[in-house]
Amino acid sequence: MRFALQWLVRLLGVLLVGPALALVTEGGRGPWWAASREPVGLAPDPAATPEAVVQVYGARAWGWRGAFGIHTWIAVKPRGAAVWTVHEVIGWRLHHGGSAVVTSHRPPDARWFGAAPEVLAELRGEAAAAAIPAIEAAVAAYPWPDRYRLWPGPNSNTFTAWVARRVPALRLDLPPTAVGKDYLGARVLAPAVSGTGWQLSLGGLLGLTLAREEGVEINLLGLAFGLDPADLALRLPGIGRVGP
């Protein structure tokens, strides 16, 4: 028993190296109220893009949270729409008596309090048009609009994962830095976020994912690590996906 505890402590120490490095490299964005929210040019202009488009974004969270994880959101533009619609979970909204689920027409590729976002998944044309109704239905059915917990969930990544599981056409591979993606509530078994495999999860604190898209990923106290054999990529807490 003592040996097992020593091994666990050492493993946690190794897993915390990534967040420590991220804290050093991501620190210094300044106060949140002064941080940039400007778009970075990843979202097509609706005026020049009549086709339907779906994009899933992720960006480092602000402050110390960014050492461990990212904030994710989903943006949709139906065919012929003049604006984007963004769906995300924002925890502080609950403090003002609202829902944690926020739907807005903000620029989908805006910086998240200074952090530049990246596109995690994208659909265009007929594939996007077919997926948008399913996305909207999943957003409306999200089971925790009145709850938010940074760790281990439900949080913004729990929301994005919930929607993606119900829209397998996205084939969304959320990185290990999407802390909260493994939170399943009372459930223990669910499809992998990408829809290409399965995952076991105990309250988002301990779990295992086996899927074609994600590969093999272990979740230990919210620190996810693993290997994607198909792409020869490592999945590391605090760092994300490392490989080709």
Token pair 């056409």 is found at 169
Q: What span, in angstroms and rounded, lies between the C-alpha atoms of 224 and 160? A: 17
The pLDDT tens digits for 116-152 are 999 999 999 999 999 999 999 999 999 999 999 999 9
The pLDDT tens digits for 143-192 are 999 999 999 999 999 999 999 999 999 999 999 999 999 999 999 999 99
- Mean pLDDT of the region 51-66: 93
The pLDDT tens digits for 38-57 are 999 999 999 999 999 999 99
Closest CA to 219 of 159, 178, 190, 164: 178
So what's the pLDDT on residue 27?
Answer: 56
Count the neighbouring beta carbons within 10 Å of the beta carbon of residue 8: 12
Pairing mode, strands 233-236 and 215-220 = unpaired
Q: What is the residue type of 227?
A: L
Q: Is there a contact between 132 and 139 (Cβ–Cβ < 8 Å)?
A: no
Q: Write out the two tokens for 46.
A: 């609706």
Q: Is there a contact between 235 and 172 (Cβ–Cβ < 8 Å)?
A: no
Q: H or E stretch including 236?
A: strand 233-236
State the number of CA atoms in the 13 A half-sphere of 170 facing the CB. Answer: 32
pLDDT band of 113, cuts 50, 70, 90:
very high
State the number of CA atoms in the 13 A half-sphere of 50 facing the CB. Answer: 0
Domain residue spans of the chain: 16-242
So what's the pLDDT on residue 98?
Answer: 87
Entry pTM: 0.92
